[in-house]
């Protein structure tokens, strides 16, 4: 079914305006972090995830990516492909822009890999990544992944399956501090029985289909989505189908034309301290259960009959500890810290 996309001239202008504070944040000084990460001003960025990606499961421990393996720096598609597909663990640093050919190619990432951009300059242009069934322990971090749109596929983006990141029944995955934009299909697809996934501090911007979760009848997935900026997008922000436990907090949805957080199937979802500005149907549940608390909604409306909460879902704190930022602080926080950071990957 064809879906509506905002005009590209409008979303491009809005995205450009919003980029100014992000660019300004790059020059902030780096200081040491006692936790072993790095800090931008008062923010510390640890090298390991929180949420469900930090928990053992499926016969695997917490997500560590390529830790313990060799660290390599890549500047070409050939070298990037060589290391992401290798059997051995690697920490792969992307230095600068890598153009992917043919357009739309999704590089196959194997288990026990970290792919991280060096500062704000690491870019994957014209392609993305694919994690197939059985892959585990992968970190994709601090990258800009962009530009696989096909003009002949407007407006629905149905013919070319060109995602930034597609995950099919993989586990222990951390998607962190990336900017994903202008892809012909999804920016991020968590498909089938992918589990122990944490998606944090990303900037999803200027796209038709944003972040789809589902494509399975099983209800086994456990997913944490926090501190992400969804800006100038249409649908799937995310669309969440058949997830055993879905925890979303401190996300910022801005200028969303299709719908916001959509809870489907047998999903049990908790949404906390998020901020919705100019969003059609900010959050709602058709089936499953949805608990929402502490959220701020401005300049937004729900369609007739939309159900905003239902059931008791689950208690995220029974799985892991976390700290909520005040919902009122979320827009400024994510304008500054979502997407690639100058002091990650160096």
**Tens digits of per-residue pLDDT, 172-228?**
999 999 999 999 999 999 999 999 999 999 999 999 999 999 999 999 999 999 999
Candidate from 41-55, 221-235, 246-260 with smallest mean pLDDT = 41-55
- CATH number for the domain harbouring residue 203: 2.160.20.10
Within 10 angstroms of residue 9's Cβ, the number of other Cβ atoms is: 8
CB atoms within 10 A of CB 156: 13
φ, ψ of residue 225 in degrees (nearest 5): -130, 110
pLDDT at 31 over 80: no
Integer Cα distance of 245 and 319 in angstroms: 10
- CB-count burial class (<10 Å; 0-12, 13-18, 19+) for 153: middle
pLDDT at 38: 44
Q: If you search the block for the tokens 């999903």, which residue do you land on?
A: 267
pLDDT of 160: 87
Residues with a known catalytic role: 236
Q: Kindly report the average pLDDT of the chain as a whole number.
A: 89
How far is residue 185 from each of residues 11, 26, 121, 127, 208, measured CA to CA in Å?
Answer: 17, 29, 24, 11, 8
Give the chain's domain count. Answer: 1
Give domain status of residue 264, yes or no: yes
In which domain, by residue range, is 113 found?
A: 8-337
Which tokens go with 57?
A: 């499961």
In a domain, 161, yes or no: yes
Q: The whole model's pTM is what?
A: 0.88
Q: Is the pLDDT of residue 29 over 80?
A: no
Q: Which residue has the tokens 């450009």?
A: 16
For residue 262, name the pLDDT band (cuts at 50, 70, 90).
very high
| Burial of residue 23, with CB atoms counted within 10 A of its CB: 0-12 exposed, 13-18 middle, 19 or more buried | exposed
N residues, the chain = 346
Task: Convert the pLDDT of each residue in 56-107 to its tens digit.
Answer: 998 999 999 999 999 999 999 999 999 999 999 999 999 999 999 999 999 9
Q: Which of 183, 285, 202 is nearest to 243 (CA)?
A: 285
**At 41, is the pLDDT very low, low, confident or very high (cuts 50, 70, 90)?**
low
Residue pLDDT, tens place only, 105-141 = 999 999 999 999 999 999 999 999 999 999 999 999 9
pLDDT at 37: 43
Half-sphere exposure of 94 (CA within 13 A, CB side): 30
Whether 346 is in a domain gets the answer no
Query: Rounded to the nearest 5 degrees, what angle is found at the Cα of 221, between the Cα atoms of 303 and 168?
Result: 95
CA-wise closest residue to 40 among 345, 251, 337, 346? 337
- CA dist 53 to 149, 266, 283, Å? 30, 21, 24
Percent of the chain exceeding pLDDT 90 equals 84
282: pLDDT strictly greater than 70? yes
Q: How confident is the model at residue 151 (pLDDT cuts 50, 70, 90)?
A: confident
Residue 344 lies inside a defined structural domain of this protein = no
CB 111 within 8 A of CB 131: no
Q: Look at residue 1 and tell me if it is in a domain.
A: no
């Amino acid at each position: 079914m064809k879906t509506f996309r905002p005009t590209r001239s409008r979303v491009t202008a809005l995205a450009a305006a919003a980029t100014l504070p992000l660019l300004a944040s790059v020059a902030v000084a780096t200081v040491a972090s006692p936790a072993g990460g790095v800090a931008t001003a008062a923010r510390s960025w640890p090298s390991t995830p929180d949420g469900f990606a930090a928990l053992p499961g499926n016969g695997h421990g917490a997500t560590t990516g390529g830790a313990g393996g060799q660290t390599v720096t890549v500047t070409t598609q050939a070298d990037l492909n060589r290391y992401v597909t290798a059997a051995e663990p690697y920490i792969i640093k992307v230095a600068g822009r890598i153009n992917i050919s043919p357009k739309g190619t999704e590089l196959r990432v194997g288990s026990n890999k970290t792919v991280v951009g060096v500062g704000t300059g690491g870019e994957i242009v014209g392609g993305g990544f694919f994690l197939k069934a059985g892959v585990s322990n992968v970190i994709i971090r601090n990258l800009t992944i962009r530009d696989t749109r096909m003009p002949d596929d407007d407006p629905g983006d149905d013919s070319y399956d060109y995602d930034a990141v597609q995950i099919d029944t993989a586990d222990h995955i951390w998607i962190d501090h990336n900017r994903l934009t202008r892809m012909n299909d999804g920016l991020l697809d968590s498909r089938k029985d992918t589990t122990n996934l944490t998606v944090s501090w990303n900037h999803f911007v200027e796209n038709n289909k944003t972040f789809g979760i589902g494509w399975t009848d099983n209800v086994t997935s456990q997913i944490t989505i926090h501190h992400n900026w969804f800006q100038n997008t249409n649908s799937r922000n995310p669309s969440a189908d058949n997830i055993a436990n879905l925890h979303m907090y401190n996300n910022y949805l801005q200028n969303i034309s299709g719908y916001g957080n959509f809870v489907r199937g047998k999903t049990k979802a908790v949404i906390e301290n998020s901020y919705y500005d100019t969003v059609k149907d900010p959050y709602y549940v058709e089936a499953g259960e949805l608990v929402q608390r502490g959220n701020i909604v401005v300049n937004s409306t729900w369609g007739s009959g939309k159900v905003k909460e239902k059931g008791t879902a689950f208690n995220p704190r029974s799985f892991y500890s976390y700290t909520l930022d005040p919902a009122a602080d979320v827009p400024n926080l994510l304008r500054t810290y979502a997407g690639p950071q100058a002091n990650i990957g160096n």
